Each structure stands twice: as C-alpha cells, then as structure tokens.
Amino acid sequence: MLRKVLLLASPLLSLGACPFGGEQGVLPDGHPAVAQETYAAALGDLDLDLVRSDLKAFFLKSQDHWPADLGNYAPFFVRLTWHCTGTYRSSDGRGGCEGGRQRFEPERSWADNTNLDKARALLWPVKAKYGDAISWGDLMVLAGTTAIESMGGPVLGFCAGRLDDKDGFESIELGPSEEQEAVAPCVLNGTCVSPLGSTTVGLIYVNPEGPLGNPIPAESALQVRDSFGRMGMNDSETVALIGGGHAFGKVHGACPAGAGPSPKEDPLNPYPGLCGTGKGKDTFTSGFEGPWTTTPNQWSNLYFNDLLNNDWEVHVGPGGHHQWRIPNATGPMAGIMRLTTDISLLHDPAGIYQKIVKEFAADQAKFDNAFAHAWYKLASRDMGPALRCLGQVAAPPFPWNPSLPARSSEFPPAWPQVKASLKEMARDYSKPIFPADVFSGQSYYGGLFLQLAWRCASTFRQTDYRGGCNGARIRFSPEKDWPANAELDGVLKVLDDVKARFGDALSWSDLIILAGTVAVEEAGGLPMSFCGGRTDATDGSGSEHLAPRLSPRPDTDLAFLVDGMKVMGLTRREFVALVGGGHTLGQMHASRSSFISGPWTSSPSRFNNEYFTNLLTEVYQEVSVQSGEKKYKAVGKELFMLKTDLFLKADPEFRIHVEEFALDNKAFLESYRAAWTKLVRSDRFDDPTGKLCE
C-alpha cells in the first residue's frame, strides 16, 4: 500500500528521484514517517485527560495479586517511569522510554527493574482499553507523570509520540551483552564509566548502597554526580529528581531471602519473592526496607527537611543491605529510612548538593519548579527536538533542547540557480582563501563539498534524534573544532559567495547539503531529490555529545564502526554505499582526519564504483608508522585507504555489499542515492513527509 502526501513542488524545477523511492510524492508503507503519521493521528483522536483520569482511578484500586502499598499504586508507577526514561544516556543517545523496551530483554531482567513486571501487568487493562491509540512507551511515561500529579506533585506536561519496538534489540548496547562489552566495556561492574550511563550495568544509575555496596556517603556523592551527569543532569536537577522521586513510596526488602529468578531465568514466574507470601508486606524488590517520609503518597519537601533536621546512622536492614535510620527515633519517624545515595546529598565533597538540599527544604515553590522541569526533561529527552513531541506538550524554550528558528519569509531561493552556481564552482574555480584539490591539472571542490555535507549530516543520531545538518551547527564550536572537521571552515568560506548571492532565502544548512548533493550529481551520480527548508542555528549548543564516533585513528576498531553506523540509524548496505561514495570523490588530506594525502581512486572527480573495485583488487600495505599512526597504500600505485575502509573489506557482513557494488555500478549508484537521501532527510522533523521536496 502506498500513501499519497501533498507536495508543493514547482513544475519549473527539474525533479530528482523521489526522496523516499518510488513515485514522486508517495511514501512507501512501512516508512517511519508513515508509522509516525498514523500514530500521531490515533493519538490526536485520543482524549488524554480521560486516560489520565482512568489512571488516577486505577492507582487507587488495589489488586489481590499485587497489593498496593497503603492502597495506592502511584509511587510504584513513578518508579516504573523513572526506570523507563532513566536509561537515557547523552554519550550516544541510547536509552529512554521510546520503544517501550523495558518490556524486553535485557532491560526487563535488570536488577533495578525487579517487580516492574507486576507494574506493567497491572497497567494492561488501561493499555487494552486504548489499544494502538497509545503506545507502551507513551503509556509508561504518562503513568508516572500522572501518578505524580495524582499525589499533588507539579507536572509541566507530557511529550508523547513514542513508537513501540517489537523487541529489545535497540537496548542491547545498554548491556549486559557482548555488544556492550565490545564498545563500552566495564572492567568492574559498579565502577563503569561513560559511554555507559550507569556505574553499574543493570542499575539505572548508581548503587543505592554506596560504591560497590560500601555505605560511604562522600564517595557515593561522587558517583551520583558522575552518573546523573552522564544523563546530562546538572546538580540542581539531580537533587530535585532524587528528592522529588523519594518524596513518594518506599523501598522493599522484607527479609534477606531475595526476589527470586528474573524473567530471563524464569519467564513463567519471575520475581516470585522468597519472603513469606512474596507480596504486600513480604515484598522483596531492592532489598532495602521502609519509606522515606511519613506521608509517602503525598507530594512535599519533607524528604529534604527530614534529611537535614536529623542525624542518620547506618545499619543493616531486614533485607540484608546497608541503609540509614534516625537513631533512637520513636513513633512513625522510627520507620523512615534513607539510602546511602540519599545521605550522600549531605556529604558532597564539593559542598554543592548540601546547599541545594537546604534551598529545597526552605522553599517549596523553588523545589516544585525545579522538579517539574527536571522531570519533564527526564521524560522527554528520548524524543529529541521539541518538534517531535505530541500530546500535552509543555511550552518551550528549554535550554536542554534548543530549537531552530523559523524559516525566512524569503525562502525558497531559486533552486535551479543555486544548483547551477554550485555546479560551476565544483570545477574550474579556485578561491585563494582555501585551495581546491587539483586532479589532472584541474581544480576541484566537489570532494570537499561532499565531505562538508557528510560531516554536517553524519552527526545525526537515530537513537535520540539529535544532530544532523539542519541548523548548520558545523559553523560553530564545538563542531567546528572537532579534529575531523579541521579546515572545513575553509570550504564554508568557498561557499560564502553563493550564500551572499541568495541571502536569507538560502540557509547555510540547505546550502551545505545541496553542495554535497550537486557534487555527486555533477560527477556522474544519479539525479537526487532535494528537500530544502532547513534553518540555521545561532550557536552550536546541542552538539556537545555528537562528535564523530567513526574515527580512522589507530584505536578505531570494527565494533566502533558498527556501533557508529547503528547510532546513525543506517543499515550495513546504506553505510557501505555512503562511505564508498564519499571516498569516491576528492582525496584525504593529511591535515585533517587522516594521516595521508592522496585519493582513494584514480579518477577522484568521477562518481562511480571504482572505490569498491580498488578495495577488492589492490593490495594495501601499511606503509609507515609515525607515532602509532597507520597509513594504507596500494602496492605500486598512489591510491590509499583508511583503516575504516579496510574494515569494510575485512568484515564479511560489510564485504558482501562491497562485492555487490564492485560488480554492479548501477546498484551502487541507486543505493548511494537512497542512502544519501535518507541520511540528509533524517533530521527533517519540520517536514517529515517531504512536502518541500523537489
């Protein structure tokens, strides 16, 4: 089935291929934009207020098979949402509640997710009532958000729009798994470092008992800062989230016997609970026991006041773990507890957490505001740019989620003229400010244009929808300072002339992508669709974690290459087409990401499959090693490859595509066009169905 979309293409423009393949203006079924559009329509028809009121009623109906603490499930669902969203990590954008992958391995069997199988089972009737109109990912975020609201807590809004995954594949790199060990090994679980989001694989952030189970608050504070920092949370957000989350509910550890097997170990009866009946007062979840406050179903800043106004002593609780109590307390206060991570907020060696705890204890409104914002950030960041949020969206701006400006009223420029200028510039043009490559005595900028466009677009992360060329942040720090982008500011200066000629009608980001696209077409690639309408950011914020992961440096290995490809959302075939296509034009420059100057092919201004032929037929040798740097040169020829190129030949799953493209130039050209179009459109949330495409 094909879906028609409205296109506003001008008949005067020469049409390239449809950006989505097939007939111009038609999205193939199964295209992510179609799935997103279908879900957006269903969600748009859903009365979210009704879902919220159903959730609020359901929280108060305790079920015998899993009785609610004090008759209210709301705190349990705050934990569910926190553990769904809290997997997000800035390093590669993985994690978060999108996909609803807490339902699958590996996440569902993480120690930190013990008994959340019960929460999801309890939620089923609500899911069943609304069916496909609300995804699991969205429902799990909405449940905790509504739970906070139901207990009087402050809520800013609800960013919806998550599509459900069919398995846990996208969480494999969160570990524990071989893939995680390959790209993010953790020598000693409990001391894991970035790019892992947590100090302990299987926990959301950090060991509640203290580092490696040692109840040392000052050391725990360091781990709390480190691990929350890896999620991009600052000190105030960290304290607000911990104190806000632990305003509610209790910890469960009735006896030392444990929770029993995980869903992976016993899918039919996971976490039966080995204390007494295994439920209610006999529940074992984390192995700690007790509530944080005397009013665990009610929003307040008591968590901070009780923390500050009492002494706390460590002891071993009924579940066999170190936890903290108020010495000699009587009455209800005798039951309240703290985890070492809670106590750590009083022992931050930097002295910062203590100040924030005091502020939140003294000023409820300040705490409300800080928590509402931090929760919204926590619960929305997997969704990427605010533009992607549906539902009951909080009003931007949010500093953690910079948006792009609106399109200029002068848009669009006269595309045929822009294209013609770029075509002319690719050859027979040399701007003294930045030297062109010279091949067969002729100056050539095409390879540089393509490299600029690739660098700009390839920051895109499918994992959290950040990056991409929209915004042209490659003009600003930090992107312009990345070693792989060295000297690309010179290429931008070459393009200055075109930018000046078309003024505000032409954004830098459209110009950069079009320059790369025209370079390929001009050199013999297939005609490509161009979808303008990108706008330019005014600074580089938002690019902090997007530095290239695919470096040809000596420490690069195959696992990193595969990982980088996955983060970009590319298949192996698409990746091979893009890398081969990119390395067909121009040459590598010793001053930039490589250590060599020289081309990959004998005709570096012609776009064809020679790169693949060379890769398979030439013998490449490591010709010299300077300070550990490796160069690969074809024996007897002035042709070069990078280590990353050689991986495409060495790895059988990449190599089948190298062989296919070496044998079939047409297949290569078509695959390149499809992969390039996908890459440069992947950040176009402003125009998901391609209304602006020609």
Using CB under 6 A as the binding rule, whether residue 211 contacts ligand HEM is answered as: no
Please state the closest distance from residue 309 (CB atom) to ligand HEM, in A: 21
Question: Roughly what angle, to the nearest 10 degrees, separates helices 508-522 and 665-681?
Answer: 180
Q: How many CB atoms lie within 10 A of CB 166?
A: 8
Contacts of 483 (CB under 8 A, 6+ apart): 592, 593
Using CB under 6 A, pick the residue from 25, 75, 598, 604 that binds ligand HEM: 75
CA distance 73 to 368: 22
Pick the binder of ligand HEM from 154, 197, 232, 249 (CB under 6 A).
249
- Piece in contact with ligand HEM (CB under 6 A), picked from 134-142, 189-197, 202-210, 516-524: 202-210
Q: Which is nearer to ligand HEM, 79 or 373 (CB)?
A: 79
Residue 598 zone, left/alpha/beta (φ > 0; ψ -120 to 50; rest): left
Backbone angles phi, psi at 438, to 5 degrees: -125, 120
How close are the terminal C-alpha atoms of the chain, in Å? Answer: 23
For ligand HEM, give the closer residue by CB, 17 or 352.
352
Pick 214 or 624: Cβ nearer ligand HEM: 214
Report the distance separating Cα 336 and Cα 449, nearest Å.
63
Among 146, 180, 200, 286, binds ligand HEM (CB under 6 A): 286
The residue from 20, 58, 59, 82 that contacts ligand HEM (CB under 6 A) is 82
- φ/ψ of 598, rounded to 5, equals 150, 160
**Residue 454 neighbours by CB under 8 Å, 6+ apart:** 516, 578, 582
Nearer Cβ to ligand HEM, position 118 or 475? 118
Residue closer to ligand HEM by CB (options 145, 593) is 145
- Contact call for residue 454 and ligand HEM (CB under 6 A): no
How many helices, marked H, and strands, marked E, lie in the chain?
22, 15
Tell me the two tokens of residue 604. Answer: 């570096």
694's CB contacts (< 8 A; 6+ apart) are 9, 10, 13, 14, 15, 16, 415, 529, 530, 531, 532
Smallest gap from Cβ 202 to ligand HEM, in A, equals 13
Which residues in the 315-354 window bind ligand HEM by CB under 6 A? Answer: 339, 341
Q: Is 252 in the site for ligand HEM (CB under 6 A)?
A: yes
- We find the least distance from the C-beta atom of residue 398 to ligand HEM, in angstroms, to be 18
Per the omega criterion (within 30 degrees of 0), is the bond before 176 cis?
yes
Rounded distance, CA 82 to CA 89, Å? 13
Provide the annotated active-site residues: 83
Q: Is 245 in the site for ligand HEM (CB under 6 A)?
A: yes
| Other Cβ atoms within 10 Å of 235 Cβ, number | 18
Binding mask 602-621 for ligand HEM (x = CB under 6 A): --------------------
Residue 250 binding ligand HEM, by CB under 6 A? yes
Among 39, 59, 205, 611, binds ligand HEM (CB under 6 A): 205
Spatial contact of 600 and 609, defined as CB atoms under 8 Å apart:
no
Cβ closest to ligand HEM, residue 147 vs residue 662: 147
Stretch that binds ligand HEM, among 242-250, 349-357, 550-558, 621-629 (CB under 6 A): 242-250
- Does the footprint of ligand HEM cover residue 78 (CB under 6 A)? yes
The stretch among 76-84, 300-308, 484-492, 599-607 that binds ligand HEM (CB under 6 A) is: 76-84
**Least distance CB 270 / ligand HEM (angstroms):** 15
Identify which of residues 294 and 665 has a Cβ nearer to ligand HEM in the complex.
294
| HSE-CB of 56 using CA atoms within 13 angstroms | 12
Decide if residue 556 touches ligand HEM (CB under 6 A): no
**Among 586, 606, 608, 609, CA closest to 598:** 586
Q: What is the contact surface with ligand HEM in residues (CB under 6 A)?
A: 69, 75-76, 78-79, 82, 205-206, 208, 224, 241-242, 244-246, 248-252, 285-286, 288, 339, 341
